[in-house]
Structure 1
Amino acid sequence: MAALRTTAENELVGRAAELDRLLGVARAAAAGSAGVALVGGDAGIGKTRLVTELARRAADEGFTVLVGQCAELGDAVPYLPLADALRGADPELIARWPILRRLLPGTPPPLPKDDHGGLTQQRLFGSTLAMLAELSARQPVLLVFEDLHWADRSSRDLLVFLTRMLQTERVCLVGTYRTDDLHRRHPLRPLLAELRRLPAVTPVELRPLTSDELAGHLAALGTDADAIGTIVRRAEGNPFYAEELLATYGEGLPESLAELLLARAERLSEPAQAVLRAASVAGRHAGHEILARVCELDERDFDDAMREIVSQGLMLRAGQGYAFRHALLQEAVYTDLLPGERTRLHTRFAALLADAAAAGLREDDGTYAELAHHALASHDLPRALAASAEAGRRAIRLGAPAEARRHFEAALSLWDRVPDPERLAGDDHAGLALRSAVAAADSGDNHRAIAQLRRLPPTPEVNERLAYYLYETDAVADSARAGAAAVAAAPEGPQLARALATYARTLMWTPEQREARGIAARALAVAEAHGALDAEVSALVVLAAAAEAEGDFDGAERLLERACARRSPDLSVNLRAIFSLARLRYERGELAAAAETTDEGIRLSHETGLRWSTYGTDLRFLRFLIHYVAGEWDLAQQVAAGFNIRVGTPAEATLSSFALFVEVARGLPVVEERLTWLRRFFDTPLVSYIARGLEAEHALWQGDPQAALAHVRAVVEILEPFDPALIRICATGLAALPPHGDPALADDLLARARYAATTGPDSGTRRPLLLEGMAWLRRAEAEWHRVHGTATSAMWREVLAAFDYGFAYEVARTRWRLVDALLTEGDRKSAEREWRQAMATAEALQAAPLRRALTTQAQHSRLTAPPAQTPLTQREREVLSLVAEGLTNREIAARLTIAQKTVSVHVSNILAKLGVSTRTQAAAHAPRHTRN
């Protein structure tokens, strides 16, 4: 467990309220509600002392305490506070996350050779979250990041990620920062403003101590009563300043805190002063060995000097080195150095770091960042360029693309000021500039990357990356032009394969869509010939999309199966292939196969730390939907437990929206709270479609059709007219209309649904709808007939058959409508049978609103016939027996030599007859129903 350094070992004075707030956050975390506290205050005000006391109390209450500290070099050395904190974690736990081991000293484990900075960063963030979740499952965790005003960009991004993602984990995250360092353009300032708005964040601002509190603090230190008044007046409520005044009391009071700190340093012997000055150049922390070598003292003299410094309380022992008691002291000593003295010391540090790196004595990825810092400060521009270029490459390996870009830009800024820069950088100017652009994109700044790439010579690699990033920003036409240019100039080999795969992807959703298939086929051939696995998998995914667009779903599925089998070194491409296959199987109604594929992708994303990457998140969306459609609602809610209600970004809002499918259908009280947080994101099309569409359904169940129609109209306005999502929304709007109510609106809604079902972008022909899309179109048409008074039971049976690929809830809702049609036609026996099956499903799903609607329907229509279970046919008993063995529909079809669609129909009938909603529930009935 890492230890916090404290300024005084006396009782904490004047901070009882602040400590109570922090303990409240920590204890809530221990109870399963993760929290974040941000502690701000001026330098020396007592932030470290406060969190030290918090750490002590937390440890006493059974917390694992991890403490990491940022340093002045924080903008150059990525993830310094996380690396510092991990030194106090269980080594066996860290060993399970290779990406985290890279932050610790020693030889870093290898990553896939094609891993890039953005993907590696996602892996690192996901692994950090997973590690904290696993650690907190054993005992609650207090994670402290000190001095965030010095944090690097990647550490700040990690702080935001953890703040947003930690929910039910037993983790309390505390960050400290200096308020007096936050100038108007300081990068931490907007981040703090963003985080303070989040409900999980507790801000704690430390005020100056009152005169009485400061006097009590000094008295506890054994201060002479005569001195207390003088010190209290001068210290202005700052306990560190007061302690320093106390240390020099009687020797005359300096005019400023800097003078006071220097006066303490000047009381040291000359050798000790020299060591202290050298340590200030190293930063807040200095390693024993390198500091001794910089000072050029023999071992005994150096030890005597350090012993004197430590005994005077100016520095403290810290691991294998030393740390200044307070950053203000380091800053004061460093600022007081003469220019020549400062340059000479930086030169020594640079030389020693360079020697150590060359000899392989320091393998941590921060060495070159430190070397670049010291080389630049000592005006050694050639060494600074070389170190900056290598520091950038190391930052990419570490998953810190923002820092990588800064290092590459630093090297490029020195390019024309040194001889032979290509040799020093290990790359030419264009290559290093390309690395910088890629790092910018990997850190989330595609627009900067595009601007940088457009300034470079248009090489095939530059144009391929330009096409890729333009596509990501929806500049599709420009993306296609860049892709074509990349293909035209690329030499035969992997580079051509990648250019072709990217170009094919840019054309896939344009009027030139038909050309994409031929280009992707060429990309596949070139990739296979030259072993470019990433391009091969990408080409297969594009070919599958092209086949799907043409209605060849079997062919698309075969291509995606092939893509999933050909694992490339690029994890993002692999996850894209797995998600595409799972999504296609889901849309084809192959729920068991879709679940199996989705679970495979979720396992891969979890094992590689990519659970929160784009495709990692999409896979969990899809797993939720598969559970939802299959009627496994308890499992769906377990997945949705990670969907935060109190959202702050469109991505979080999208994730949260999915939970509404089950919550609205079950009529849970949480619906209103979730919608309250989601409403400010209703201008985001996907959030509007899911959340506002489900709010319309919620309004219908609450008996407010006008509110439902208002939500439907709003969603219709925000979606593109060719978006197939309109089909479901229009069906919901039609369901809100009463019989013979507003036929013009009914006609408009059905026309919109039909247009979206048949028309693609730019008025092109849409590929045929898959099962769920067709089912919703049938629902919309049947609801239109209901509004016009022309609906028949046959129409509703068509809807029933369309949803009967395993969509338990929609089958039950359709039966609810079918019952009315059957009663109108006078077929009470069939109505009672359909009503019983609908009610059995509603009961099994705990779908309270549907259950109430069915109960009301039965009361009004006097459906009083007792439930009677229809016996299973011989074939249904055979299918049920195989379901109980855990076989998928595809496997059952192969075993019984029947069509997979036939199996799906049998399974649906079995669920309905047994009055259950899941295969698992049906399997439990198998012994009783499959006996001979």
Structure 2
Amino acid sequence: MTRRAVSPVFVGRDAELETLDEAFGQARKQAAAAVLVGGEAGVGKTRLTSRFAERANQDGAHVLIGGCVELSTEGLAYAPFTAALRQLVRETSAVQVAALLPEGAARELARLLPEFGEPSGDGETESARARLFELILALLERLAERRPVVLVIEDIHWADRSSRDLIAFLSRNLRTAPVLMVMTYRSDELHRTHPLRPVLAELSRVDGVIRLDLPRFTQEEVAAQMAGILGVTPEFARVDKVFERSGGIPLFVEALLDCGNDGSFPESLHDLIIGSVERLPEETQRALRTAAAGGVRVGHDLLAAVSGLSDVDLEDALRPAIATNVLQVADGRAYAFRHALIREAVHDELLPGEHARMHARYAEEIDRDRTLVPPGRAAIEIAHHWHSARNDLWALISAWEAAEKAVHAYAYTEQIQLLERVLTLWNKVPDAAERIGVDHVTVLERASEAAYVTDEMDRSMKFVKGALAELDETTSPERVAALMVRMANIKVQKGKPGALDDLRHAERLVPTPSDTRALVLGRLGTLLMVADHVIEGTAVTQEALRIARERGDECQEADLLINLALGHSISGDLERTFSTNERALAIGTRLKSARVVLRALANNVDSLDNLGRSEEAVALAIEGEKLAREYGRYRHQGVFIANNRAEALESLGRWDEAIEVVQRAMSMGPSLRNRWHLLRVRGDIAIARGEEDVAQDILAEVGAFARQPEEWAQEWTSNTRLLLAWHLLRGEPLKSLEVAEGALTNPPLSKKAMLGWRLLAAIRMACDAAASIEPDRVATLRARGDALAVDMYGGGPVSEAFRLVYEGDFDAAAERWKALGRPYVHSKALLHAATSAAASGDRDGVAVRLREAYPLAVDLRAVPLATQIETLARRVGIALSGSVRHSHSVRHGALDEHAALTPRELEVLRLVAAGLSNRDIAGELFISAKTVSVHVSNILPKLGVSTRGEAAAAAHRLALLG
């Protein structure tokens, strides 16, 4: 009889394999993101994924495999992605991998693998990790252009925070590439507070993510496994007993069979697993205990150094463990325990003194020769082992060093954990400051920065307050001022008041020119402008600009120019806004500063929209978003540009596109304030289309129902405008009037022309709606509005059109909106002009205006507005029939009114006619390939054709592409 420790026959799991195969098939169609394979320890997750990986490889997939590494309570930062990247480099070369990415971008990968040279010197910590994430995403997408990719990540229950965040990011964004992620985790280890739980909950809500729970073996499957191991069909009684004791867990079945045929069974699972080890020679057991202290996988040279054995003696000692499959030979001259449970059981056998001694030996040997571990891992490995050895002095020193290394790899969460260890050990090491060369406050400062970068604002604030408590502002004014800037930034991110007070305090602490004063003034100037203190904000920014120029800091100069442009925008000097941004853009381009370039582009998208050049704004935004992807900055700055594109699309009435842009940007996990900006765009469309539930949820999230004036005038102004429209949508004119009265009684009303006049125009709508009910209140409110309007900034055709609406010159406003190509406000202005005409008895004037307004509202699916137009038409006795058909015939030639193409469908049709594939179209329009497919499916029947070629011919025949 031939016995094997592991069955050579793959037992069961047919349904699970089929699920994985189906997911891979969907991924090939660019419609799947990930499969989460959960199960108890030892249930066969690795065996299943290995089997699937073999099949996928045979089916033409490029399979990349990485695993998470357990190091005490924290994982190893980016371990699975580093392993997959190392595999990719080994299969090809670092040069070939770099060629898949934008020029120079691969230098960021040097933070994970030294084969890519020296990391870039870019110290922009707030966006650095986001850039790394986008780089990994881009790499997978480029690889998938050659053939489908399967990325297997094992043991994500051990994943570090950075890896978990990257996994979530990829799962949300690998939507248009044939990439399938398969991830395994121990479901029995997910206690209530386990950090993987919220990640799994988030991923479960992502389309295309599949949860696959791996059950235990049935008794029949246990019998098949036993037959594979034993080489013969086992007796029923033995199968019955093994099944009962193992509970159907394959690893335990193997361990029970390894106990022999004497019928004895261990009393506990620990004894069951350790039983196969205890039957090995003593020198083998000793070597295994040493290996277990090194982790699931340990290199031969490191194990030899720690054990003190020669190569020959070590190999002789390990050979029995390898023969019984307790230990396996891995690539890279390493050994790996066959299962993590075996390693854990062996490690638990270490006596307390032996445990401390063994981990100290690992720390000493790795510190002596850092090549004994894979590149980039020495510092964290040393820190882990000294911590496990309970050596406070060296645990503190090594944790500080590892924290410094973590920040270079953008592993900020791991940096926080290590810095917190330093803080915990500080009082246990009398000369801690001398040992690591910095004081306690510096550790707190670093921790606050790392927490801020990872969006852990409460944690960052805790560290800031701790540092401030230890500093005296009379002896350390610059340190206190810098911390006050961070405190202000945290308050802004959390939407809390007090940021301006913090910055004014910081400014008083650093009265003379310095880098710190320039930092404080730059931030203070921006927030003053956002709060509508434009004159003071401009003066402060100009002083910061002088300091930057004196010190030759061109990058800061460009940033401050962009800040000045914000002041020009609020003041209504839109042409100067554009030209100032262009100056900053030129500096950023010359310095090759991606951040400055994208920031200037983003602000000019807004400038163009405010100038009424919204089509140009959309085109510039698309260019900016492409650059953001190339620079690896989409998640950070690209989302801001996407928001500005959505605003321009909303202006143009291309609402479905705007919603698509908003949804995609929201999936990128934007900052809180960017999220609110995006939601406000969606809220405008929801209210215009009568989507009450959607609008209510949005207004609640952005704080519009709170009715508390915010510190930032622009936020407050936008929220107030949305709330006014919300009450009018619900048929509550008096509530809308109440909101308007509150807005004009003590208003932090933004004087930015686009925002201020737009709010006043909305207040005019509220007044008109309530005029017949509360004429005196309306008259008082109008008088207040008129008084405020005197000081309102002007500038640009958009604010001028809103001014005309406020003043009641609806026909002139309608002409302006028509010239600007803004159909919704054009239709609304026509409705109000028609209402005025009806009041004066001009029935023909009403008809002309309503028949022009109605098709605009119908095309937009602006149901409330269309209903208002229909109601007025019935009241006056005017027929609207034929107007919609006429509108479509003008725009679409021979197309029937029900077959009219939407603006997005026209864009898709134009690219289809140019010969682009669905995937290429998706890339051009920043939508998913699946969405393109839906558009194409809608276009074909509308054109009365059945193929893409026929659609292209019809488009030219009907002159739809001109």
Q: Bin the TM-score by the shorter chain.
A: 0.7 to 0.9
**Contact 1:450 1:466 (C-alpha < 8 Å) held by counterparts:** no
**Contact 2:161 2:413 (C-alpha < 8 Å) held by counterparts:** yes
1:527 aligns with 2:548: yes
* 1:173 aligned partner: 181
Matches within 5 A, 1:757-836: 767-768=793-794, 771-779=797-805, 782=808, 795-801=810-816, 804-807=819-822, 810-811=825-826, 814=829
**Contact 1:494 1:531 (C-alpha < 8 Å) held by counterparts:** no
1:403 shift after superposition: 0.9
Letter in 1 for 2:772: P
Hey, what's the Cα distance between the residues in 2 that align with 1:719 and 1:322? 70
Q: Of residues 292, 302, 314 in structure 1, which corresponds to 2:304?
A: 292
Hey, what's the Cα distance between the residues in 1 that align with 2:355 and 2:124? 40
Matches within 5 A, 1:571-650: 575-591=598-614, 594-595=617-618, 597-613=620-636, 615-630=637-652, 639=661, 642=664
Hey, what's the Cα distance between the residues in 1 that align with 2:185 and 2:741? 45
Shift in alpha-carbon separation, 1:180–1:863, aligned structure 2, 3 A: closer
Hey, what's the Cα distance between the residues in 2 that align with 1:543 and 1:190? 42
Shift in alpha-carbon separation, 1:294–1:137, aligned structure 2, 3 A: same
1:796 shift after superposition: 1.2
* 2:438 aligned partner: 427
Shift in alpha-carbon separation, 1:375–1:847, aligned structure 2, 3 A: same
* 1:684 aligned partner: 701
Hey, what's the Cα distance between the residues in 1 that align with 2:610 and 2:378? 51
1:339 aligns with 2:365: no
1:583 shift after superposition: 1.5
* 1:496 aligned partner: 517
1:155 aligns with 2:163: yes
Shift in alpha-carbon separation, 1:477–1:287, aligned structure 2, 3 A: same
Matches within 5 A, 1:657-696: 658=681, 680-685=697-702
Hey, what's the Cα distance between the residues in 2 that align with 1:691 and 1:140? 46
Hey, what's the Cα distance between the residues in 1 that align with 2:166 and 2:362? 30
Query: Cα deviation per residue 1:836-895 (whole Å; 9 max; x = unaligned)?
Result: 98799899999999999999979816889999999xxxxxxxxxxxxxxxxxxxxxxxxx
1:224 aligns with 2:234: yes
Q: Of residues 207, 212, 225 in structure 1, which corresponds to 2:220?
A: 212
Query: Cα deviation per residue 1:747-776 (whole Å; 9 max; x = unaligned)?
Result: 97898799789869xxx9654475434434
Shift in alpha-carbon separation, 1:495–1:362, aligned structure 2, 3 A: farther
Letter in 2 for 1:103: L
Please give the secondary structure, in 2, of the residue aligned with 1:432: helix
Letter in 1 for 2:129: Q
1:124 aligns with 2:146: no
1:68 aligns with 2:66: yes
Hey, what's the Cα distance between the residues in 2 that align with 1:695 and 1:476? 21
**Contact 2:243 2:253 (C-alpha < 8 Å) held by counterparts:** yes
Query: Cα deviation per residue 1:231-278 (whole Å; 9 max; x = unaligned)?
Result: 112112222111111122225322222222222123333443333222
Shift in alpha-carbon separation, 1:555–1:372, aligned structure 2, 3 A: same
Letter in 1 for 2:404: R
* 2:945 aligned partner: none
**Contact 1:657 1:678 (C-alpha < 8 Å) held by counterparts:** no
1:327 shift after superposition: 0.6
Please give the secondary structure, in 2, of the residue aligned with 1:589: coil
Query: Cα deviation per residue 1:19-56 (whole Å; 9 max; x = unaligned)?
Result: 44444444333333334433332211222233334434
Letter in 2 for 1:778: L
Please give the secondary structure, in 1, of the residue aligned with 2:212: strand
**Contact 2:33 2:208 (C-alpha < 8 Å) held by counterparts:** yes
Letter in 1 for 2:383: A
1:181 shift after superposition: 2.0
Hey, what's the Cα distance between the residues in 1 that align with 2:253 and 2:734? 64
Shift in alpha-carbon separation, 1:795–1:855, aligned structure 2, 3 A: closer
Matches within 5 A, 1:414-453: 414-418=425-429, 421-422=432-433, 424-453=435-464
Please give the secondary structure, in 2, of the residue aligned with 1:619: helix
Q: Which moved more, 1:508-517 or 1:204-213?
A: 508-517
Hey, what's the Cα distance between the residues in 1 that align with 2:738 and 2:322? 68
Hey, what's the Cα distance between the residues in 2 that align with 1:51 and 1:707? 58
* 2:484 aligned partner: 466
**Contact 1:368 1:391 (C-alpha < 8 Å) held by counterparts:** yes
Query: Cα deviation per residue 1:881-921 (whole Å; 9 max; x = unaligned)?
Result: xxxxxxxxxxxxxxxxxxxxxxxxxxxxxxxxxxxxxxxxx
Letter in 2 for 1:505: T
Hey, what's the Cα distance between the residues in 1 that align with 2:817 and 2:701? 30
Matches within 5 A, 1:733-752: 743-744=772-773
Q: Of residues 526, 529, 534 in structure 2, which corresponds to 1:505?
A: 526
Please give the secondary structure, in 2, of the residue aligned with 1:203: strand
Please give the secondary structure, in 1, of the residue aligned with 2:634: coil
Please give the secondary structure, in 2, of the residue aligned with 1:255: coil
1:619 shift after superposition: 0.2
1:182 aligns with 2:190: yes
* 1:269 aligned partner: 281
Q: Of residues 21, 29, 32 in structure 2, which corresponds to 1:31?
A: 29
Q: Which moved more, 1:446-455 or 1:588-597?
A: 588-597
Q: Which runs of 5+ in 2 are unaligned?
A: 706-716, 892-955
Letter in 1 for 2:351: L
Please give the secondary structure, in 2, of the residue aligned with 1:444: coil
**Contact 1:544 1:560 (C-alpha < 8 Å) held by counterparts:** yes
Shift in alpha-carbon separation, 1:646–1:413, aligned structure 2, 3 A: closer
* 1:78 aligned partner: 77
Aligned CA RMSD, in angstroms, stands at: 4.9
Hey, what's the Cα distance between the residues in 1 that align with 2:853 and 2:205? 45
**Contact 1:450 1:470 (C-alpha < 8 Å) held by counterparts:** no
* 2:376 aligned partner: 365
Hey, what's the Cα distance between the residues in 2 that align with 1:540 and 1:758? 33
Please give the secondary structure, in 2, of the residue aligned with 1:11: coil
Letter in 2 for 1:775: A
Please give the secondary structure, in 2, of the residue aligned with 1:354: helix
Letter in 1 for 2:820: Y
Hey, what's the Cα distance between the residues in 2 that align with 1:203 and 1:745? 58
Q: Of residues 32, 41, 49 in structure 1, which corresponds to 2:39?
A: 41
1:148 shift after superposition: 2.0
Please give the secondary structure, in 2, of the residue aligned with 1:177: strand
Identity across aligned pairs (percent)?
28
Matches within 5 A, 1:810-889: 810-811=825-826, 814=829, 860=879
Hey, what's the Cα distance between the residues in 1 that align with 2:830 and 2:626? 37
Q: Of residues 561, 569, 591 in structure 1, which corresponds to 2:582?
A: 561
**Contact 1:437 1:453 (C-alpha < 8 Å) held by counterparts:** yes
Hey, what's the Cα distance between the residues in 1 that align with 2:511 and 2:359? 45
Hey, what's the Cα distance between the residues in 2 that align with 1:644 and 1:678? 16
Query: Cα deviation per residue 1:413-449 (whole Å; 9 max; x = unaligned)?
Result: 3334447544542433322221111111112122322
Hey, what's the Cα distance between the residues in 2 that align with 1:747 and 1:27? 68
Hey, what's the Cα distance between the residues in 1 that align with 2:815 and 2:214? 64
* 1:330 aligned partner: 343
1:678 shift after superposition: 7.1
Please give the secondary structure, in 1, of the residue aligned with 2:578: helix
Could you state the TM-score of these two structures normalised by the residue count of structure 2? 0.74
Please give the secondary structure, in 1, of the residue aligned with 2:151: strand
Matches within 5 A, 1:91-106: 92-93=96-97, 96=101, 97-98=105-106, 99-106=108-115
1:149 shift after superposition: 1.9
1:331 shift after superposition: 0.5
Hey, what's the Cα distance between the residues in 2 that align with 1:83 and 1:126? 15
1:697 shift after superposition: 9.4
Letter in 2 for 1:286: V
* 1:904 aligned partner: none
Hey, what's the Cα distance between the residues in 1 that align with 2:39 and 2:742? 45
Hey, what's the Cα distance between the residues in 1 that align with 2:804 and 2:649? 23
**Contact 1:479 1:506 (C-alpha < 8 Å) held by counterparts:** yes
Could you state the TM-score of these two structures normalised by the residue count of structure 1? 0.76
